[in-house]
Structure 1
Amino acid sequence: MVGRKPYMVGHQEFAALYRVQAPMVSQWLSPSRGALDPGTATVVSGVRYWPLGFACRYGTLTPRQKLLDEGVKARLMAEQGEGWLADLGDELPPMVGQHEIIQAFHLPSQGTLATKIAADGFPRADWFLSGSRLWLLETVLDAVPELRARARSVVWEPDEHVVKALREGTYDGPGSQVLTRGRHARYPR
């Protein structure tokens, strides 16, 4: 394993790897197609993300094989910096988005966190995928002393129960499930 973080992709990056539009990934996930198992993804703040290693291998797993764009793969790896190529069998570190951070610190609102991020008062995101910022849990926890030192009204005291659940992969709070909409909402995910 090289680096602290695995290379990851969201819907947009997954689609770019195969030169299709992002909605196609949702179609692959639909129960009627069954081409992409939702269980292959990790859910962060209610959105699915995949290890890049799996996303690259996916094209060989379908009945109609899909051609991987190696240039997109190289670009994604360069954009994400030093990391390692994870697959489904690899142990992914705990990752968090805004929903999990709000719960971990019992922040009064999403606006409190968004303001902190916008003011450069929060650690730089480890990933920016499909329009969303994601962090390693450890990146956020390592920043607690600095967050406390610069805080005016937020205590920045992590809830150990939430942190433990995130580390163990048992977190079931806000953002832990994808809320399916549309005609496939009745199918279990």
Structure 2
Amino acid sequence: MDLPKPYLVGHQEFAALYGVEAQMVSQWLHPSRGVLDPVTAIVVSGVRYWPLGFACRFGRTTPRPKLLDVRYKERLIAEQGEGWEADTRDQLPPIVGQQEIIELFHLPSQGTLATRIAAGNFPEEDWLLSGSMLWLLDTVLGAVPELRARARSLAWDVDDQVAAALREGTYDGPGSKVLARGRYARKGL
């Protein structure tokens, strides 16, 4: 990979950039408000994430401008380590969460992956955002030889079609859509 990883934010970090509760980001996303377009985010394991550059510009683009907490931005950058500030989702490399990893390797269950992660037998996450671990696809694929060497029963065979779809941005498997939550979720069925 040519560049270090881009800086990202999830709902909690996005909200903290503007000193509001995380639920406010969901309200900004609501179609009746039309403040935050969902297309500006990527979806990883059913959750939206934004490039830090976009999130920092967002406050100046709304009908009621919002003040950016620059100190929190600096803290996010320090926590995420060496990186760069992407402005659009199209600038982001392929990023995966647990749901995409399970599909990539056709693992028998989420518990299989969770056990590996907890035991320290999986690459360290590239980001920990809003309580979720995320990896660059290249981080995961680069660890395949080591995963195979430590495996007792799993083959850790990569599904090349899933990997290609993740790279091309056409992946539509588990985790590719944000699932409706809350009391109105059933109305969408």
What TM bracket, shorter-length normalisation? over 0.9
The corresponding residue for 2:161 is 161
The corresponding residue for 1:73 is 73
Q: Please state how far the C-alpha of 1:89 moved relative to its aligned partner.
A: 6.5
Letter aligned with residue 94 of structure 2:
P
TM-superposition CA deviations, 1:136-179 (whole Å, max 9, x none): 00000000000000001110010000000000000000000001
* Mapped partners of 2:184, 2:3: distance in 1: 38
* Mapped partners of 1:26, 1:50: distance in 2: 13
Please tell me whether the aligned partners of residues 12 and 22 of structure 2 are also in contact (alpha carbons under 8 angstroms).
Answer: yes
- 1:38-187 counterparts in 2 under 5 A? 38-88=38-88, 90-182=90-182, 185=185
Please tell me whether the aligned partners of residues 2 and 82 of structure 1 are also in contact (alpha carbons under 8 angstroms).
Answer: no
What is the TM-score of this pair, normalised by structure 1?
Answer: 0.95
TM-superposition CA deviations, 1:100-152 (whole Å, max 9, x none): 00000000000000000000000000000000000000000000000000001
* Mapped partners of 1:69, 1:2: distance in 2: 30
Please tell me whether the aligned partners of residues 17 and 73 of structure 1 are also in contact (alpha carbons under 8 angstroms).
Answer: yes
* Mapped partners of 2:145, 2:86: distance in 1: 30
Identity %: 73
Please tell me whether the aligned partners of residues 6 and 51 of structure 2 are also in contact (alpha carbons under 8 angstroms).
Answer: yes
Secondary structure of 1:79 counterpart:
helix
* Mapped partners of 1:132, 1:152: distance in 2: 27
* Mapped partners of 1:48, 1:122: distance in 2: 23
The corresponding residue for 1:37 is 37
Please tell me whether the aligned partners of residues 116 and 122 of structure 2 are also in contact (alpha carbons under 8 angstroms).
Answer: yes
* Mapped partners of 1:42, 1:78: distance in 2: 22
Moved over 4 A (4+): 183-188
Structure number having the greater helix percentage: 2
* Mapped partners of 1:15, 1:2: distance in 2: 30
Q: Please state how far the C-alpha of 1:98 moved relative to its aligned partner.
A: 0.2
Gaps in structure 1 of 5+ consecutive residues: none
Give the count of matched residue pairs: 188
* Mapped partners of 1:84, 1:73: distance in 2: 13
* Mapped partners of 1:183, 1:60: distance in 2: 32
* Mapped partners of 1:58, 1:185: distance in 2: 27
Letter aligned with residue 141 of structure 1:
L
Let me know the Cα RMSD of the aligned residues.
Answer: 1.8
CA 1:159–1:2 in structure 2 vs 1: closer, same or farther (change >3 Å)? closer
Please tell me whether the aligned partners of residues 100 and 175 of structure 2 are also in contact (alpha carbons under 8 angstroms).
Answer: yes
Secondary structure of 2:133 counterpart:
strand
